[in-house]
Structure 1
Amino acid sequence: MLVVENLTRQYGARRAVDGVSLRIERGSFVGVIGRSGAGKSTLLRMLNRLADPTEGRILYDGLDVTALRGRRLREWRGRCAMIFQQFNLVGRLDVMTNVLMGRLNHAPAHRSLLKLWSAEDKALALAALESFDMGTFAANRADALSGGQQQRVAIARALVQEPEIILADEPVASLDPRNTRLVMDALAEANKRYGITVLCNLHSLDLARAYCDRLIGLSAGRLVFDGRGFDLTEDVAQTLYRLEAGEVMDRPPAPPLPEPGAQPVRAAARLGA
């Protein structure tokens, strides 16, 4: 179990994350929701220790993650894989090599530097790609792929780390609807097939409801919602997003208000009655 106790990250006078406490069960798929600047990315980066907490602790099965340094910290990052919005692939390298980068913690340094990957590592990487319908692209340069394809390669790379947790930071923010679905399906597959705990920052509430077992809502760095999708009413969405609630719930925008002094247009008049 992942336990967060009073986690805080302060930048000058501003608290990006403010006293967040959580317990995340193994094998769950958790959506982290909230406005831009709510603290979602900072929270995930602290869990991976890419950012250090100002206060509080992170515990995983009794291990104090906030106290890790050096080799033990690198081992933790291998167990807690990170997926970024911008994919973080090496564009000039082929897809297979990018995925094999996820095996760096499992191979001697001299072997990985010389790209002397074992047959087992290569088989694992190809299996990960094929599980996301990307096996036929193994020899292609990463920068020749679409955004959705690159993100699936990034998920395959995370998978070959053999992680216990995947942290996905806005993984579909720049993707079209079709690729959004493919990437979210890939994360769901990693969660359901391999039992990997997934924490995923999302902007769309409809997407969060469709894929996540549990939703965590942040506002100004504070935890303001923790529940299931059906608990997320429009009132709660307004608390989280204010005027953005309609947009993130994928509802059409409200019609514009009439000009001052203008007469309301009746439905019959609009139809030419």
Structure 2
Amino acid sequence: MLVIEDLTRQYGDRRAVDGVSLRIEPGSFVGVIGRSGAGKSTLLRLINRLADPSSGRILHDGREVTTLRGRDLREWRTRCAMIFQQFNLVGRLDVMTNVLMGRLSHVPSYRSLLRQWSAEDRAMALAALESFDMGEFAGQRADGLSGGQQQRVAIARALVQEPEILLADEPVASLDPRNTRLVMDALAEVNRRYGITVLCNLHSLDLARAYCDRLVGLAAGRVVFEGGPFDLTEDVARRLYGLEAGEVLDDSAQREAEQRAAMPGRPGLVPARPVREAALGA
């Protein structure tokens, strides 16, 4: 259980996150929605401890995350993986090596510096890539991939960290409708197949309704909505987006039509073995 209690992050006179309290159930897929500047990215960075709160606290299974330092903090960032809008891959390195970077916290530093990855690590990385139909690109340079392909590589890298929580900060903001669907399906697979809790920042309301089992709406750093996809009405959208609501609702309808045309139907995802077991043939 991830528990956030009265979390605040202040920059000068402005509160980017203002008294947020949430309880995130294990294995849930939570969408964080709201206009630009609502505090969505700051909230995820606080959870991952890329930023420190001004006040409040974060607990995971009863352990306080906000006080972690040194090795304990590094271990938390391994258990709470994060992917970004910009992919954060090393373009000159091949796809396999980029994914193996997710194993850095699990191997001695001298081995990672010399790229002496074990057969088990390589098998895990390839299994993760194949989970997202990216196995054939393992030897290709990362900067030769499309944006959607790079984001799926970033998700595979996060998966081999063996996290309990995955934070996704606007992972599809720069992608076309087809690649948006592929990346969101990849996140859904991580959630359903491996039971990993996913918190995903989204601007698109149709994506939030289609993929998330719970939604949290932020406005000016505060939680102003919390509920299921069917609770996300036009009135709620107007409360969240203010004057931008009409544009967001129109864009949502247009994107939904484009996505249906690009990739009709969404295949169901079936339970499977964890990536370590799949890689080892257990």
Q: In 1, distance between residues paired with 2:248 and 2:80? A: 28
| Residues 182-193 of structure 1 mapped to structure 2, 5 A cutoff | 182-193=182-193
Write the letter of the residue equivalent to 2:19.
G
1:246 deviates by: 2.8
Write the letter of the residue equivalent to 2:130.
E
Identity %: 83
- Please give the secondary structure, in 1, of the residue aligned with 2:66: helix
> What does the per-residue CA deviation read over 1:149-168, in whole Å, with 9 as the maximum and x for residues that have no partner?
00000000000000000000
5+ residue gaps, structure 1, are 253-273
Write the letter of the residue equivalent to 1:65.
V
Write the letter of the residue equivalent to 2:224.
V
Partner of 2:151: 151
Q: In 1, distance between residues paired with 2:100 and 2:12? A: 39
Q: In 1, distance between residues paired with 2:172 and 2:110? A: 35
| Residues 234-245 of structure 1 mapped to structure 2, 5 A cutoff | 234-245=234-245
Partner of 1:181: 181
Write the letter of the residue equivalent to 1:153.
V
2:206/2:253 contact within 8 Å kept = no
Q: In 2, distance between residues paired with 1:246 and 1:3? A: 33
Partner of 1:39: 39
Larger radius of gyration: 1
1:176 deviates by: 0.1
1:242 deviates by: 1.4
Partner of 2:70: 70
Partner of 1:21: 21
2:217/2:240 contact within 8 Å kept = yes
> What does the per-residue CA deviation read over 1:111-163, in whole Å, with 9 as the maximum and x for residues that have no partner?
01100000000000000000000000000000000000000000000000000
- Residues 1:140 and 2:137 aligned together: no
> What does the per-residue CA deviation read over 1:4-57, in whole Å, with 9 as the maximum and x for residues that have no partner?
000000000000000000000000000000000000000000000000000000
| Residues 63-212 of structure 1 mapped to structure 2, 5 A cutoff | 63-212=63-212
Q: In 2, distance between residues paired with 1:217 and 1:72? A: 31
Q: In 1, distance between residues paired with 2:136 and 2:116? A: 22
Partner of 2:53: 53
Partner of 2:220: 220
TM-score normalised per structure 2: 0.89
Q: In 2, distance between residues paired with 1:185 and 1:219? A: 27
Write the letter of the residue equivalent to 1:171.
P
5+ residue gaps, structure 2, are 255-282
Write the letter of the residue equivalent to 1:45.
R
Q: In 2, distance between residues paired with 1:26 and 1:222? A: 23
> What does the per-residue CA deviation read over 1:174-231, in whole Å, with 9 as the maximum and x for residues that have no partner?
0000000000000000000000000000000010000000000000000000000100
1:247 deviates by: 2.9
Partner of 1:257: none
- Please give the secondary structure, in 1, of the residue aligned with 2:85: coil
Q: In 2, distance between residues paired with 1:78 and 1:247? A: 38
Write the letter of the residue equivalent to 1:73.
L
Q: In 2, distance between residues paired with 1:32 and 1:247? A: 19
Q: In 1, distance between residues paired with 2:246 and 2:43? A: 25
1:172/1:180 contact within 8 Å kept = yes
2:148/2:175 contact within 8 Å kept = yes
For the aligned residue pairs, the C-alpha RMSD in angstroms reads 0.7
1:155/1:187 contact within 8 Å kept = yes
1:206/1:248 contact within 8 Å kept = no
Q: What is the aligned residue count? A: 252
Q: In 2, distance between residues paired with 1:241 and 1:143? A: 35
- Please give the secondary structure, in 2, of the residue aligned with 1:17: strand
> What does the per-residue CA deviation read over 1:79-117, in whole Å, with 9 as the maximum and x for residues that have no partner?
000000000000000000000000000000000110000
Greater than 2 Å deviation, 4+ residue runs: 246-249
TM-score normalised per structure 1: 0.91
Q: In 2, distance between residues paired with 1:90 and 1:46? A: 25
1:9/1:52 contact within 8 Å kept = yes
